[in-house]
Structure 1
């Protein structure tokens, strides 16, 4: 099904019983303003009408589907801001992308406006679903939808926290994000980073407590795989593990990461056949949360089909893959460019980019339908990092080597510990998630310590210092124009109306 916001369309996958009826048109009355302007001076909470339109589980599901449709998918953008790529000569022909790669303040402001608008719109939808469901006769299905709406809200809050606030290990008392837990318009100040983490944790604890899980059987694992486009309880457990790692509660991060791995059947969802399916249009048991779309994805990296891409894979990263490492051929490929003087562009990013290239050049790969945000491999990295921080080096190495053996990659040395072990984990994580945006947030967390060298050897020499204010995106003007309690991040201007 499609929902239209301004001039953009998004696909949302529903089961047969959840496919939308014409009531969607009455459920949403001008749900969002067009995102082309992105200033969004009208508060998100004021974009809803007809509270009586949600009358049962189907219409509640239809409304919640719009929260999924509006979630940002910025794999490419965050990768440009990391050390995943090396720019090609074509970058000069794309001024806005060149400015983004230079951490240009205007481009980062545009990014901030878009992320803030989309995430808070998803949060507003989640609040609307919760309030509508609360007024309906109770049922198991409605309760499940209400809990799912809270999980989506927690996910959106965490992404906002990572993008707009300092890391908690450095500034837990600094301003975090604004929590908007009701559909009604309100003006709240930003919570501190520590308070923001606690609030997200509380949402997850209420919606997905640890005690709600039981040992999975094969039927339950299969059922979960078929729900990868929804934010299930396992997706919430993954988010909880990620949140606790971010907060520095490594024992809790370990507990939740182990739970996720158990629920996914351990290394079964890491096997080579499953790995190859991750970027295709079919279901994949390795995925934990992967929104459904009905369009091409990751097209921004391509300047044009004749002359190639604006970025290729960072050769320093590419050189670290072992000869038998399955990740190497998935991560990079060579594009044949018969109409270009170069004839070929080497080391182009694979994954979604390779799927797109195959499709547009007569291949049978087809469009991307699922964009992986969470997958089993990520839980292994959360677990290994949490164990390493607790001084459990042998356990961390065992976890990593279980993962690496499935990727047919060289195993970690058994004598690693401390910073050398953490550095090895982060290096392998970049090789797993290259081009998917994860690296930026690892650099942000470790830019003063383990990854302080990330800037070295970059041909785009504009890379910013560890203390630069641009690591935290600016709070958009559209927020503080109607909420005078919203403070701006250090270094960024607080604009007035008309500026």
Structure 2
């Protein structure tokens, strides 16, 4: 019997050695909570499995006992703690608190985000430390290490933006009460990790590498890190490297972005895969968006199992031009019952539902789009705007605008190109464009925090809700502070 490490959701003591007394005992546990430490890390297959384990923690589990990093809480928090989403999920006070900015250190959603990120970081640390000692194909070894470093850098990028000063764990075994690193120290590690991933493959053989990190993903994520750090020059340079690679392009019609046939397609820079293995793994809670219909109102379109827990603010919905293609693709605003009666409803998010491929609407096998090519274009526009390169800023934001007026057949007389904007007007235009382009993709709180616009924009969408300066970071979970006295608190 092998010995395993159980990864507990605690930054202060992430590694606890366990000895499984029987195979039955092991199988009753969620297998994602274990990484073998004996009779393992011997060959290339073991190295590949170690890196695959990091990817596994990004999505949801088959049993539902443990959510993955991007299963729900992460993007739900980023939407609710902004001007993007409202919470309609009953008996969910933690989510209500995020939406009204009354959350504190006891918030369970934030604890889950913290725990799942550090679990995945720990698995990445083990892979990065163990793989160099394996006798195996050198090219594969370097690729796997690059993937692990990309994933660790990406995970720390989430965490430093959300929580600020946190433990910087980079070794397989860390002190029980690790010290806290400054944001500058954490960003230095993130940049080093992402640079270490820039030699990843440009792509993988068809069907063999869907969802794996690529060179383009590393460069695009690095550009976003530089953008967040207001290093406009490097943000522009890295974004342009992705653009000039000619490995990515926009789908001509926004509706094509979220079709199942587009998974890992030309616009996907980095996505997290869900919904495979015969449906055993559920999609990243698409049901949290779609509208729940009562049994007496069963839709001819078959969405009776969808939930509609988190919904767009009316401010977001009303910000779209009426003929913006993204508006009709993104939102569900009516349903047709089995008698053919059309009933208007408040807007719900529907863009992840590929009706042709999954007509029942009882979930989706779609991916979570962590980085799309349209974001690379907008990042490049933003960097150039800050560098006073107005023509380039206009050119690249208008590429995204142009797609928004194409309805699949013709260009509509809507969503006109931006012209002659001042630098300040362009800042506002890019922020608005991001809001419309990335609805429900987990970006909005990060965008408002990065641009210091929480206090001004949230009250416009949620009257009476007024964030303050402390909300540019989330509170560090109290459970973690009880376990690690070195952890600070972010003004809560």
- TM bin, normalised by shorter chain, reads 0.7 to 0.9
Match of 2:447 in 1: 442
Q: 1:299 aligns with which of 283, 287, 291?
A: 287
Q: 1:93 to 1:483 in 2, by over 3 A?
A: closer
Output one character per residue of 1:357-400: Cα deviation in whole Å (capped at 9) or x when no partner.
Answer: 994x636x972242110110110111111111111111100111
Change (3 A) 1:86 1:130: closer
Cα offset for 1:253?
Answer: 0.1
Q: Is residue 394–residue 414 contact of structure 1 (8 Å, CA) maintained in 2?
A: no
1:203 aligns with 2:193: yes
1:321-360, aligned counterparts within 5 Å?
Answer: 321-336=320-335, 338=337, 343-352=343-352, 354-355=353-354, 359=358
Deviates more, 1:305-314 or 1:410-419: 305-314
RMSD over equivalenced CA pairs, Å: 3.2
Please, which runs of 5 or more residues in structure 1 have no aligned partner?
Answer: 1-24, 166-175, 215-219, 493-499
Q: Of 42, 45, 50, which aligns to 1:63? A: 50
Tell me if structure 1 keeps the 8 A contact 2:239–2:379.
yes
Once residues 482 and 262 of structure 1 are traced to their aligned partners in structure 2, the CA distance between those partners, rounded to angstroms, is 48
**Using a 3 Å threshold, how does the CA distance of structure 1 residues 184 and 227 change in structure 2: closer, same or farther?**
same
**Residue 271 of structure 2 is aligned to residue 290 of structure 1:** yes
2:6/2:15 contact within 8 Å kept: no
Q: Give the CA deviation at 1:445.
A: 1.8
SS in 2 for 1:156: helix
Cα distance in 2 between the residues matched to 1:389 and 1:272: 28
State the Cα deviation string for residues 257-291 of structure 1 (Å, max 9, x = none). Answer: 1111223445xx21325751435364422111111
Q: How much does 1:143 deviate?
A: 1.9
Contact 1:335 1:348 in 2 (8 A): no
Q: Is the 8 A contact 1:105 1:470 kept in 2?
A: no
User: Residue 177 of structure 1 is aligned with which of 166, 174, 187?
Assistant: 166
Q: Are the counterparts in 2 of residues 356 and 366 from structure 1 also a CA contact under 8 Å?
A: no
> 5 Å matches for 1:272-287?
272-273=252-253, 276-278=256-258, 280=260, 282-287=263-268
Contact kept? 1:51, 1:132, Cα under 8 Å = no
> Shift of the alpha carbon at 1:324?
4.3
Determine if contact 2:12/2:178 at 8 Å carries over to the other structure: no
1:51–1:103 distance in 2 versus 1, CA, 3 Å:
farther
Q: In the TM superposition, what whole-angstrom CA distance separates every residue of 1:438-484 from its partner, at most 9, and x where no partner exists?
A: 11111112235xx642123334633422x2x2432232345445544
SS of 2:224's equivalent in the other structure is: helix
SS of residue in 2 equivalent to 1:347: strand
Answer with 451-460 or 369-378: which moved more.
451-460
Please say if residues 473 and 489 of structure 1, whose CA atoms lie closer than 8 Å, have aligned partners that are also in contact.
Answer: no
Asked whether 1:257 is paired with 2:239, we answer: yes
Distance 1:356 1:44, change over 3 A: farther
Q: Does 1:405 align with 2:388?
A: no
Alignment of 1:113-262 (within 5 A): 113-139=111-137, 140-165=139-164, 176-186=165-175, 187-208=177-198, 212=199, 223=205, 227-262=209-244
1:491: which partner in 2? 491
Shift of 1:62: 1.6
Inter-partner Cα distance in structure 2 for 1:61 and 1:149 = 10
Give the deviation of 1:254 after TM superposition: 0.1
**Cα 1:337–1:489 shift into 2, 3 Å:** farther
TM-score of the superposed pair, with normalisation by structure 2: 0.78
Change in CA separation of 1:272 and 1:243 when aligned onto 2, cut-off 3 Å:
same
SS of corresponding position for 2:260: coil
- Aligned partners of 1:280 and 1:368 also within 8 Å: yes
Counterpart position of 1:454: 457
Secondary structure of 1:362's aligned partner: coil
Residue 30 of structure 1: how far off its partner (Å)? 5.3
- How far apart are residue 190 of structure 1 and its match? 1.9
- What displacement does 1:412 show? 3.6
CA apart distance, 1:427: 0.6
For residues 222 and 403 of structure 1, do their structure 2 counterparts lie closer, same or farther at Cα, with a shift above 3 Å needed? farther
Deviation at 1:106, TM superposition (A): 4.8
Which sections of structure 2, spanning at least 5 residues, go unmatched? 18-34, 59-68, 276-281, 298-306, 406-413
Aligned CA distance change for structure 1 residues 346 and 132 (closer, same or farther; 3 Å): same
1:92–1:367 CA distance, 2 compared to 1 (3 A):
closer
Look up the SS of the partner of 1:491 in the other structure.
coil
Partners of 2:343 and 2:105 lie apart in 1 by 32
Aligned length: 431
- Superposition deviation, residue 128 in structure 1: 1.1
